[in-house]
Structure 1
């Protein structure tokens, strides 16, 4: 059976070091500047409280500490070696210059793409004022035989404990994405796998904001036709988030410069689902432990239910998210050399193991 082999030269360097992720980020950055200039809109740091350029490196450095400290403590405790000498030895083994360049390059590509994505998402109502919510709901009602998906799920699960459960699922996802990036950049030593995953997520952001701009929607929870369907849900942190996001949108639409913030509402496609599909496919292709693969697919299903139950997305958003996540994994496989012909397949190295090292 033919095995994919990493390419040499410049092509190989780009494949292993996020070349296409950087390209996606730069293209999105250019689009951000163009939209801002043409529509006279401000470009903002998407994370005003803790800026992303601080938060994301902090996540990676925290992951590095978790990678190094247990090894350091174990060696000093068991082997009774000197602390300084052991620390330097562990750092040489785990974090040579090439690994630092790999991790920092991945974080840089990730943040550029993420920051551009958040700004372009905020520009959507100013660039394309059309609203496709009624069409999306109509498609949903056809697919669900005349019913709204959220109402069906409320009837099945109730509006008490399920509100808290699905709110928890939604917020676990928020933490999962940066953690998964840290795993890809810190704990795995298979650089082509890490590059494949980070590139796929960058493509998720790029394709997602493109579709946002073409087909703007706000989602069931924000439409006058469906808002009352969610009035009986138990109050949760999700409720506070939904209200704060709407308040931000109203402020931004009322005074885009004076608001001092960005609006983050766009429903089609569901990137919660799209990126979760990306994660599920990646753990399959990389061949992680069976329990990780099963847990990933289970969490994908729960994420689908959560986005519908809480009113963030239409069912058609979920379907589009599945398609987006699948396409980006395939495209990133081609971009990072992880393929045989047009079929995604991890390119293994002799000196690397396809595993998460802990």
Structure 2
């Protein structure tokens, strides 16, 4: 059978059934974003900082990332068609494949509203994060240092890791993985935005993502306001982590340790009370670890290789958060402890927002594609 007919069969009229289903997940995410935005404006107005809240802080960045992700995915899809499917009429097949992917099952109708919500959400989130020290000063750092030592037999976690990771090349490599958190997050986010093959997983991830950033990155981060090891000395004159920071500075002479430049940028932004891309200092809980856990959980049921990638990525982000001076170990531990209930709760919610018939139809279509 010609592969072009396979595309037509895969996207027959019955395949649009899922697109006719209620957009309750998108409406729920819209409600969450609106409530969160209103709360941030109310809090910021109460302390005279409402001018620091921006709804479009990440507009250019999100559009640029969207272009890069979609362009990269399109290139990979074209290569797959050329090398694996090898249709007789290549150009016609590619055009039909792209048209059916974008227009079939109301994919754009489901994805674009969430993408716009995310743009507003992450802008408001960053605006609020920069305000946290104004709302609650950094008062928990010494407590978290003590908790780290209690949980690790009287030792600082970074010292326990140093025999394993204390080599410039390894530190540089770990920093590369740590910086890969951003592209990994956006990749999984766009994967779930545009993938409708498993609607309940999509709903679970998106709901967990928004709620984790709100509850952990805003609420808990305010209640447990802390700066983190790398900022102890410049902000408070506390040189407890000076040996770790000295090692990283020495390692940067032999390998790229980009964390130091990023930390310097965040410090300048904090001291200047600026709210810009990536602004804000907040250590507890670690949103890097929380998001890496969401990535791992999303990948868990998607095959052995993705499952292994998710677990390894989570482990490396947890280790990097400590070794690179960003976080206390307890920042990551609490992030994991709080993210898991959110994931479980959103799984329950996703089952009620996504009709079982929609999940069944999508699974049937996938099995017959």
> Normalization by structure 2: what TM-score?
0.79
Aligned counterparts of 1:197 and 1:354: Cα–Cα separation in 2: 21
Aligned counterparts of 1:28 and 1:353: Cα–Cα separation in 2: 37
Q: Which residue pairs with 1:245 in the alignment?
A: 266
User: CA separation of 1:315/1:205 partners in 2, compared to 1, >3 Å: closer, same or farther?
Assistant: same
1:218 and 2:234 matched: no
SS in 2 for 1:352: helix
Q: Which residue pairs with 1:232 in the alignment?
A: 247
1:349 counterpart (337, 360, 363): 360
User: CA separation of 1:66/1:35 partners in 2, compared to 1, >3 Å: closer, same or farther?
Assistant: farther
For residues 8-19 of structure 1, what are the structure 2 equivalents within 5 Å? Answer: 13-15=22-24, 17-19=25-27
RMSD, matched Cα: 3.3
Q: Which residue pairs with 1:93 in the alignment?
A: 100
Aligned counterparts of 2:306 and 2:85: Cα–Cα separation in 1: 31
Q: Which residue pairs with 1:3 in the alignment?
A: none
User: CA separation of 1:72/1:350 partners in 2, compared to 1, >3 Å: closer, same or farther?
Assistant: same
Deviation at residue 155 of structure 1 after TM alignment: 3.7
Deviation at residue 247 of structure 1 after TM alignment: 1.3
For residues 1-358 of structure 1, what are the structure 2 equivalents within 5 Å? Answer: 13-15=22-24, 17-41=25-49, 42-44=52-54, 51-59=60-68, 61-62=70-71, 65-66=74-75, 69-70=78-79, 78-80=87-89, 83=91, 85-86=92-93, 88-96=95-103, 98-187=106-195, 189-208=197-216, 209-224=218-233, 225=238, 226-229=240-243, 230-233=245-248, 234-235=251-252, 236-252=257-273, 256=274, 263-284=279-300, 287-337=301-351, 348-352=359-363
Residue segments in structure 1 that go unaligned for 5+ positions in a row: 1-7, 340-344
User: CA separation of 1:292/1:53 partners in 2, compared to 1, >3 Å: closer, same or farther?
Assistant: closer
> Normalization by structure 1: what TM-score?
0.82
User: CA separation of 1:260/1:86 partners in 2, compared to 1, >3 Å: closer, same or farther?
Assistant: closer
Residue segments in structure 2 that go unaligned for 5+ positions in a row: 1-16
Aligned counterparts of 1:330 and 1:91: Cα–Cα separation in 2: 35
Deviation at residue 354 of structure 1 after TM alignment: 9.8
